[in-house]
Amino acid sequence: MTNLDLAEEVHLSPSPCLRRLRALEKSGAIRGYSVEVDAKAYGLPVTVMVRVTLDGHDEATVQRFESQIKAIPEVLECFVMSGLSDYLLRVVVSDLEDYERFVRARLHPIGGIGSIDTSFVYGIVKRSQVFPVITR
């Protein structure tokens, strides 16, 4: 969206709008810009939610897991979780065989994993990168 379109959307004139935008970027509130990619058109139509529980929680095990997960391109997001699992991964693959390869060639070699629980996404009800407006 252009600054002119944004200014109109938020009911500001273009100059103040651009100043506010630059201030948000400088403060780190806006960390970057991205595009939305069609996973199917890209060739990675299968999204998998993978819950991982480590078999130990010593610093070396946690550091090894986290550093190696960061280097795996199929892992789009990795969340540290409370509850039954330690981590929730959002993974994209081309098909079921590709997911098997991911588990055997990417996850298993990390070591220190006690369990892997997999759920395949078969539909999306809502997806948004837009934060709600905070009113206080």
Q: How far apart are CA 21 and CA 29, in angstroms?
A: 10
What is the CATH topology of the domain spanning 39-120? Answer: Alpha-Beta Plaits (3.30.70)
Task: Express each pLDDT in 61-82 by its tens digit.
Answer: 999 999 999 999 999 999 999 9
pLDDT confidence of residue 131: 86
Q: Cα dist. 132→30, 129, 135 in Å?
A: 15, 10, 9
The dotted CATH code for 1-33 is 1.10.10.10
Domain ranges in the chain with CATH number 1.10.10.10: 1-33
Domain ranges in the chain with CATH number 3.30.70.920: 39-120
Q: One-letter amino acid identity for 95? A: D
Q: Cα dist. 24→17, 27, 32, 34, 126 in Å?
A: 11, 5, 11, 16, 26
- As beta bridge partners, residue 105 has none
pLDDT confidence of residue 130: 85
Find the mean pLDDT for residues 81-98. Answer: 98
Task: Express each pLDDT in 30-64 by its tens digit.
Answer: 999 999 999 999 999 999 999 999 999 999 999 99
Residue 122 predicted with pLDDT over 90? yes
pLDDT confidence of residue 129: 86
Please tell me the pTM assigned to this model.
0.86
